[in-house]
Structure 1
Amino acid sequence: MTARREPSAPPTLPGYRYVRLLGLGGFADVFLYRQDLPVRDVAVKVLLAGSLDDDVRTRFQTEANLMAQLSHHPSIVTIHQAAIAADGRPYLVMEYCSRPGLAQRYRTEHVSVHEALRIGIRLASAVEAAHRVGILHRDIKPANVLTTDFGWPALTDFGIAATVGQGAGATVGMSIPWSPPELLAEHPTGDERSDVYSLAATIYSLLAGRTPFEVPGGNNSAQDLVTRIERTPLPQLGRHDVPPALFAVLERAMAKHPSRRYASAQAVARALQQVEADLGLPVTPLDLPDMPREPDDERQPAQSDDATRLRPVVEVAPSVPTWSAVPPPPDAPEQPVTELLVDEPVDEPSGGRGRAVTAIVSGLVVLAAVVAIAAATMNGTPDPNPTSSSDFSQPPDSVAGRDVPSPTGLSGTRQADDTVVFTWTNPEPADGDRYTWGVLTATGEPELAIVTQPTVVVPSTGGGEVCIEVSLVRADGRSSDTPTQGCVP
């Protein structure tokens, strides 16, 4: 292992005065600056000098443009400016969020159920707002949720975001602990429901104080996490104050197969509102623009103009609190889940009116039934899990019984621009092989990413030693028992 790298030099920016370092990243550093006019503190994200290839520049520009489209949302970090410094490094000037973000809080604080629900609903509003303008975040996790000066969660880092309908694409930079199974598959695929999974995984971490499939005191390597994410039921939160209804919401949102999840972040938010109402808590309103979903979205029917803006839920299912009910057995068939009703208009300063939104049954439940019938017709027996996918099935015993070797020949070469190129060899190549890798530091476990080729480029580190670990991952999800590690002085 090696100590954390030295930060890059803060650039000289006209109209801003450097204050201090805020954080280090894989491709950029973040600094606190003081803006001269208007006077305010701002966070400035600056690309590392060794990261200025075309792909990284494109990601940086994409992040600036996407966040600018969404900056009006109260739970998305505001972008003030994007430009290029005198030394050639691109930078973003962003809202400075002074309070501890979720990455710090979930490991060190006991977050109340009330606060976790409020944060979850506000984040779901932000994710839904992004989806409505055609943007998938693809990397929702505690580290990408800051906290504004007024205590609101603020989603940031749209660097690997994609356009809705574009597909998952490359998964480099993806954070494994909060990623859904379909993004960990040999051929990644994803849509809005992938963000739904990561949103719920983030709320889970806030409540549990750990990542969803992390085993306290156990082996939590990348290969173990991937296997659990793909095959293990969601572990209980281990808190007596969390109602079963809240765990049921997270469990559905993090279902292994996308068709069993909530169809949208909006649906997650409404389910969380229902839990608030059942607990007798104030219902957190949704922050969504006055715009309908796309008419061709089969998972959410278009609404009339008067019903496109969500109102605070005044009366939600006034019946026996759902948290007092006994949850169904794990092997019980999934029941159709209806949308909540907004029963009364709510006066707002804008003068708009609310309209009752009719409860609907997700079309995906019908699709699941069709799949079940088709399976019964072909096999002669009912399929107990009609929505399961072969992507998440257990491998044959003959395959599972063989150990996955560790990569060999890991070596690195420092380039003229101070980046380090690492390469390694796959001792037993097989179809669908991938690799998890991460930079080793003295401050904690590496944040792992997935690549398909046996090479990675580590950005400039300021001349210090660079160490990484690499594991081989088979198409069936099995991985090397021991990662291979290597360093470059």
Structure 2
Amino acid sequence: MTARREASAPPDLPGYEYVRVLGLGGFADVFLYRQHLPRRDVAVKVLLAGSLDDDVRERFQTEANLMAQLSHHPSIVTIHHAAIAADGRPFLVMEYCSRAGLAERYRAERMPVPEVLRIGVRLASAVETAHRAGILHRDIKPANVLTTDFGWPALTDFGIAATTGPPAQTMGMSIPWSPPELLAEHPTGDERSDVYALAATIYSLLAGRTPFELPGGNNSAQQLVARIERSPLPPVGREDVPPQLQAVLDRAMAKHPSRRFASAMAVARALQEVEAALRLPVTPLDLPDEPPTALGAAPSDDEDATRLRGIALPGPLQGLAGHDEDATRARAVVVGRPTLVAPAPVQQPAPTGVPDRAGTRRGARVGAVIAGAVVLAAVAGVVVASLRGGDAPPPAPTDTFAPPQTGPAAGPVPAPHSLAGTRAGDGSVTFTWQNPDPQDGDRYLWGVLAVTGEPTLALVDEERVTVPADQATGEVCIQVSIVRADRSSTARPAQGCAP
């Protein structure tokens, strides 16, 4: 088991007020600070004093530069500032994402299929944007996807990112979401390795577990690697997940990179196809100056990845105008620096009343006319596919689609404090903690921290849990989050250990 430790001392930063610890890492700690001007909450990532060798400093600097280069994207955490504290430790000032991240959610709740599709398209857009900038993430997983105050997924932790040039040795990757080529004796990888990890993350959101995890079975690092390299991808195991979505995951997580989608954008378009087939609003692609493309008009290098499947419609185009008003409602699509990939689309008036994920820092470029054209083109493609004898329609979704919150975000849920464990004579360890702001309906999401994967989490009503003796050999560490009655939860769980 990885040894856990106390958080390092927060540095004294002029213009910032320390609030609390958000999380601990192998090379850095993350703290919540309140910036004085402009006044806002920010997350500050501080390199550990014992990790100041040249290699770690270089990685830390690389992370700052890469994230700053990509910060314009709505699904990548924004870097505000980077500097060196008075005590010599480098630090990054980042956007504070107050809502529960994907790591806290996917084991604790059954995430609706429409929400997972929306998250998948937005994350795929973020990964594609990084790839177009020549950057591989190399560690995409639920724990590296935070949630902004506006409900957008936000990819973070580019600490082991690399350029898309010649393959380099991979450091610190997370086994449960890593493709076979990164687990080999001589790791190699390219954009398709990120495609695999992206799909593995989407799989986890649907299944409530990592892709090759056996519930109640042997999930050691050695066993996980063996399954990733040789076992077929298990089905998600949910009746509301259509076969078309399972097929997208199967292809994106193929053992050999040549059999996967060639790009993250191809994954995004395949997920959009699933949305269209389920008659859901199609999530826009957030790509720099990407011209809107009608669904069904596949890229020339991967036609099958975006071909529409036929679905049954009640009469020719029946109900298209009124079936789903949201399907043609304008949504803010963030655009960034121009690229040489394609000419910029004609700017349309920005929609009103639909905030983007950063509130006022980004504008919208695609208006209702373009959004409506995309949806109508998608439906037309469906009808054509149906007339040509397409595949059987997928089962109707059982989850109710809930659009992202557009009103004021609720206040952040604090982390428990005073988390400590005591070992009993029988070898079990009892942990207790305190809730700094108790409210009616509060519960606690906790799990034992392990070397591989994410902890298996469970909900309890009291401020104490006991780890049985057979699970508490050696040092035992847990994480705990507060879960409110409205299902909001601590963004960064508290962590504690007992010898």
Paired with 1:140 and 1:260, the residues of 2 have a C-alpha distance of 20
Paired with 2:159 and 2:71, the residues of 1 have a C-alpha distance of 15
Compared with structure 1, are the counterparts of its residues 303 and 144 closer, same or farther at alpha carbon in structure 2 (3 Å cutoff)?
closer
Paired with 1:28 and 1:16, the residues of 2 have a C-alpha distance of 19
Compared with structure 1, are the counterparts of its residues 52 and 447 closer, same or farther at alpha carbon in structure 2 (3 Å cutoff)?
farther
Paired with 1:188 and 1:140, the residues of 2 have a C-alpha distance of 16
- Give 1:171 shift: 2.1
Q: Which one-letter code corresponds to 1:444 in the other structure? A: L
Query: What is residue 124 of structure 1 aligned with on the other side?
Result: 124
Q: Which one-letter code corresponds to 1:66 in the other structure? A: L
Alignment of 1:185-196 (within 5 A): 185-196=184-195
Give yes or no for contact 1:278–1:323 (8 Å, CA) kept in 2. no
Secondary structure, in 3 states, of the residue corresponding to 2:237? coil
Query: What is residue 462 of structure 2 aligned with on the other side?
Result: none
Paired with 1:128 and 1:227, the residues of 2 have a C-alpha distance of 29
Secondary structure, in 3 states, of the residue corresponding to 2:151? coil
Secondary structure, in 3 states, of the residue corresponding to 1:31? strand
Compared with structure 1, are the counterparts of its residues 14 and 323 closer, same or farther at alpha carbon in structure 2 (3 Å cutoff)?
farther
Query: What is residue 224 of structure 2 aligned with on the other side?
Result: 225
Query: What is residue 331 of structure 1 aligned with on the other side?
Result: none
Query: What is residue 435 of structure 2 aligned with on the other side?
Result: none
Give yes or no for contact 2:242–2:394 (8 Å, CA) kept in 1. no
- Give 1:323 shift: 6.7
Alignment of 1:330-349 (within 5 A): none
Secondary structure, in 3 states, of the residue corresponding to 2:107? helix
Compared with structure 1, are the counterparts of its residues 28 and 203 closer, same or farther at alpha carbon in structure 2 (3 Å cutoff)?
same
Paired with 1:66 and 1:5, the residues of 2 have a C-alpha distance of 29
With structure 1 as the length reference, what TM-score do the two structures score? 0.64
Compared with structure 1, are the counterparts of its residues 299 and 179 closer, same or farther at alpha carbon in structure 2 (3 Å cutoff)?
farther
Give yes or no for contact 2:63–2:161 (8 Å, CA) kept in 1. yes
Q: Which one-letter code corresponds to 2:35 in the other structure? A: Q
Query: What is residue 374 of structure 1 aligned with on the other side?
Result: none
Give yes or no for contact 2:2–2:451 (8 Å, CA) kept in 1. no
Alignment of 1:315-330 (within 5 A): 315-316=377-378, 317-318=381-382, 319-320=385-386, 324=393
Give yes or no for contact 1:110–1:207 (8 Å, CA) kept in 2. yes
Compared with structure 1, are the counterparts of its residues 303 and 126 closer, same or farther at alpha carbon in structure 2 (3 Å cutoff)?
closer
Paired with 2:392 and 2:198, the residues of 1 have a C-alpha distance of 21
Query: What is residue 288 of structure 1 aligned with on the other side?
Result: 287
Asked if residue 446 in structure 1 is aligned to residue 484 in structure 2, the reply is no
Compared with structure 1, are the counterparts of its residues 282 and 323 closer, same or farther at alpha carbon in structure 2 (3 Å cutoff)?
farther
Query: What is residue 197 of structure 2 aligned with on the other side?
Result: 198
Secondary structure, in 3 states, of the residue corresponding to 1:77? coil
Q: Which one-letter code corresponds to 1:324 in the other structure? A: P
Per-residue deviation, residues 79-113 of structure 1 (Å, max 9, x unmatched): 00000111111100000000000011111011000
Paired with 2:165 and 2:342, the residues of 1 have a C-alpha distance of 24
Query: What is residue 239 of structure 1 aligned with on the other side?
Result: 238
Paired with 1:158 and 1:192, the residues of 2 have a C-alpha distance of 15
Per-residue deviation, residues 95-141 of structure 1 (Å, max 9, x unmatched): 00000000111110110000000000000000000001100000000
Query: What is residue 88 of structure 1 aligned with on the other side?
Result: 88
- Give 1:157 shift: 0.3
Paired with 1:3 and 1:52, the residues of 2 have a C-alpha distance of 19
Paired with 1:207 and 1:249, the residues of 2 have a C-alpha distance of 13
Query: What is residue 265 of structure 2 aligned with on the other side?
Result: 266
Give yes or no for contact 2:245–2:271 (8 Å, CA) kept in 1. yes
Paired with 2:274 and 2:2, the residues of 1 have a C-alpha distance of 46
Paired with 1:298 and 1:179, the residues of 2 have a C-alpha distance of 28
Alignment of 1:347-362 (within 5 A): none
Give yes or no for contact 1:193–1:263 (8 Å, CA) kept in 2. yes
Higher mean C-alpha deviation, range 306-315 or range 215-224: 306-315
Asked if residue 184 in structure 1 is aligned to residue 183 in structure 2, the reply is yes
Compared with structure 1, are the counterparts of its residues 196 and 152 closer, same or farther at alpha carbon in structure 2 (3 Å cutoff)?
same
Asked if residue 213 in structure 1 is aligned to residue 212 in structure 2, the reply is yes
Query: What is residue 101 of structure 1 aligned with on the other side?
Result: 101
Secondary structure, in 3 states, of the residue corresponding to 1:108? coil
Compared with structure 1, are the counterparts of its residues 291 and 238 closer, same or farther at alpha carbon in structure 2 (3 Å cutoff)?
closer
Give yes or no for contact 2:191–2:263 (8 Å, CA) kept in 1. yes
- Give 1:303 shift: 6.1
* Unaligned residue ranges in structure 2 (runs of 5+): 292-298, 304-339, 347-364, 396-446, 454-473, 477-498
Per-residue deviation, residues 390-445 of structure 1 (Å, max 9, x unmatched): xxxxxxxxxxxxxxxxxxxxxxxxxxxxxxxxxxxxxxxxxxxxxxxxxxxx9321
Asked if residue 32 in structure 1 is aligned to residue 70 in structure 2, the reply is no
Q: Which one-letter code corresponds to 1:41 in the other structure? A: D
Paired with 1:2 and 1:236, the residues of 2 have a C-alpha distance of 31
Query: What is residue 305 of structure 1 aligned with on the other side?
Result: 343
Paired with 1:298 and 1:53, the residues of 2 have a C-alpha distance of 47
Q: Which one-letter code corresponds to 1:46 in the other structure? A: V
Paired with 1:446 and 1:118, the residues of 2 have a C-alpha distance of 30
Query: What is residue 155 of structure 1 aligned with on the other side?
Result: 155
Secondary structure, in 3 states, of the residue corresponding to 1:6? coil
Compared with structure 1, are the counterparts of its residues 160 and 322 closer, same or farther at alpha carbon in structure 2 (3 Å cutoff)?
farther
Give yes or no for contact 1:12–1:86 (8 Å, CA) kept in 2. yes
Query: What is residue 145 of structure 1 aligned with on the other side?
Result: 145
Per-residue deviation, residues 54-77 of structure 1 (Å, max 9, x unmatched): 111000000000000000100000
* Unaligned residue ranges in structure 1 (runs of 5+): 327-441, 449-465, 469-488
Give yes or no for contact 1:34–1:40 (8 Å, CA) kept in 2. yes
Secondary structure, in 3 states, of the residue corresponding to 2:248? helix
Give yes or no for contact 1:243–1:323 (8 Å, CA) kept in 2. no
Give yes or no for contact 1:245–1:323 (8 Å, CA) kept in 2. no
Per-residue deviation, residues 12-34 of structure 1 (Å, max 9, x unmatched): 00100000010111111100000
- Give 1:447 shift: 3.6
Secondary structure, in 3 states, of the residue corresponding to 2:26? coil
Query: What is residue 58 of structure 1 aligned with on the other side?
Result: 58
Q: Which one-letter code corresponds to 2:202 in the other structure? A: I
Compared with structure 1, are the counterparts of its residues 325 and 74 closer, same or farther at alpha carbon in structure 2 (3 Å cutoff)?
closer
Secondary structure, in 3 states, of the residue corresponding to 1:241? coil
Query: What is residue 247 of structure 2 aligned with on the other side?
Result: 248
Query: What is residue 384 of structure 1 aligned with on the other side?
Result: none
With structure 2 as the length reference, what TM-score do the two structures score? 0.63
Give yes or no for contact 1:63–1:158 (8 Å, CA) kept in 2. yes
Asked if residue 13 in structure 1 is aligned to residue 13 in structure 2, the reply is yes
Paired with 1:252 and 1:2, the residues of 2 have a C-alpha distance of 34
